[in-house]
């Protein structure tokens, strides 16, 4: 595995990713990217907004306190792959209304990413977004980043018939829909568990992590007084066998793939 000095413990703030060997990706024809906390910096407040929206919606829908809703939300997320999947199975929730409410967020903190756009544009082959969120949310984020033109399509949770990553049938449906040869593709994700099936299917895998992972213990408030949005289990698996590369700088990583050999 080629990676930055990151294991199952959070990396120090000063850690820098080891750049990939371009030959490791010479065979890649299709580049698959998760959206949230992958194509934009995880330090932004976008996912926190989504998390808070989901918590409020669940509390209102089930008549729970915010703390109870938060515990239920995170429990379903870990068990089912998304909170929504658990709510649909356990409570018959309408997915469309939930997704609309979850993704009503302010994108003011999200700046255009021209360097990322250049790096994506230099990659040979097709680029796809594969998200457990909604197409509308993905399209808004891509537009704000200024990188929409580089992606051939978005595969969202609706197209997946609400079967989320990391479930194997969800990946197989995605590969079939877009006629992706997994042995000639690469997948970029911010959760190690979402790379296990892709690796098993033959995809090259890249885990995108924050420069430093910090937060209160699981279930405890952060320094802002709000529950943290990344659980301890989400910070595990950096050194797993199914993770080929780890990077805390997606733009730098992609740029290195097209750099001339020295």
More confident residue, 89 or 4: 89
pLDDT digits (tens, 9 = 90+) for 126-178: 999 999 999 999 999 999 999 999 999 999 999 999 999 999 999 999 999 99
- Does 179 score more than 80 pLDDT? yes
**Cβ-count burial of 225 within 10 angstroms (0-12 exposed, 13-18 middle, 19+ buried)?**
exposed
Q: Tokens 């805390």 — which residue?
A: 248
Q: How does the average pLDDT of the chain come out, rounded?
A: 85
Query: How much of the chain exceeds pLDDT 70, in percent?
Result: 81
- Does 222 score more than 50 pLDDT? no
Residues paired with residue 187 on neighbouring β-strands, in sequence order: 32, 205
For residue 260, give every residue at least 6 positions away whose Cβ sits within 8 Å of its Cβ, in sequence order, or none: none
- Does 23 score more than 80 pLDDT? no
Q: What is the pLDDT of residue 145?
A: 97
How far is residue 110's CA from residue 247's CA, in Å, rounded to a whole number?
20
Ordered DSSP codes for 173-218: HHHHHTT--GGGEEEEES-GGGGHHHHHHT-EEEEE--SS---PST
**DSSP alpha helix (H) spans, 81-167:** 83-91, 95-102, 114-122, 135-145
Q: What is the chain's Cα-based Rg?
A: 18
No. of helices (H) and no. of strands (E), the chain: 9, 6
Q: Which two tokens stand for residue 147?
A: 């990188």
Q: How many C-beta atoms lie closer than 10 Å to residue 223's C-beta? A: 9
- Does 86 score more than 80 pLDDT? yes
Q: How many C-beta atoms lie closer than 10 Å to residue 203's C-beta? A: 25
Element (H, E) at 67: helix 66-80
pLDDT digits (tens, 9 = 90+) for 50-66: 999 999 999 999 999 99
- Determine how β-strand 153-155 pairs with β-strand 185-189: unpaired
Q: How many C-beta atoms lie closer than 10 Å to residue 161's C-beta? A: 9
Identify whether the C-beta of residue 11 lies closer than 8 Å to the C-beta of residue 213: yes
Q: How many C-beta atoms lie closer than 10 Å to residue 185's C-beta? A: 23
* Mean pLDDT for the stretch of residues 242-254: 93
């Amino acid at each position: 595995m080629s990676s930055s000095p990151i294991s199952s413990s959070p990396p120090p703030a000063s850690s820098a990713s080891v750049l990939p060997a371009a030959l490791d990706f010479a065979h890649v024809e299709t580049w698959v990217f998760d959206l949230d906390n992958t194509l934009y910096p995880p330090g932004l407040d976008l996912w926190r907004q989504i998390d808070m929206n989901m918590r409020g919606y669940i509390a209102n829908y089930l008549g729970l306190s915010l703390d109870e809703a938060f515990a239920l939300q995170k429990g379903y997320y870990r068990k089912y792959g998304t909170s929504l999947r658990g709510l649909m199975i356990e409570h018959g929730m309408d997915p469309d209304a939930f997704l609309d409410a979850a993704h009503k967020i302010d994108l003011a903190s999200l700046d255009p990413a021209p360097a990322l756009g250049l790096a994506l544009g230099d990659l040979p082959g097709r680029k796809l977004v594969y998200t457990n969120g909604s197409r509308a949310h993905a399209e808004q984020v891509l537009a704000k980043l200024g990188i929409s033109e580089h992606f051939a399509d978005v595969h969202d949770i609706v197209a997946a018939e609400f079967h989320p990553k990391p479930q194997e049938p969800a990946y197989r449906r995605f590969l079939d829909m877009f006629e992706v040869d997994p042995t000639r593709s690469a997948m970029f994700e911010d959760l190690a568990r979402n790379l296990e099936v892709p690796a098993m299917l033959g995809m090259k895998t890249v885990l995108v992590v924050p420069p430093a992972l910090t937060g209160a213990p699981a279930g405890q408030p952060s320094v802002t007084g709000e529950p943290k949005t990344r659980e301890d289990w989400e910070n595990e698996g950096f050194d797993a066998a199914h993770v080929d590369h780890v990077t805390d700088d997606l733009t730098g990583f992609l740029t290195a793939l097209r750099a001339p050999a020295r």
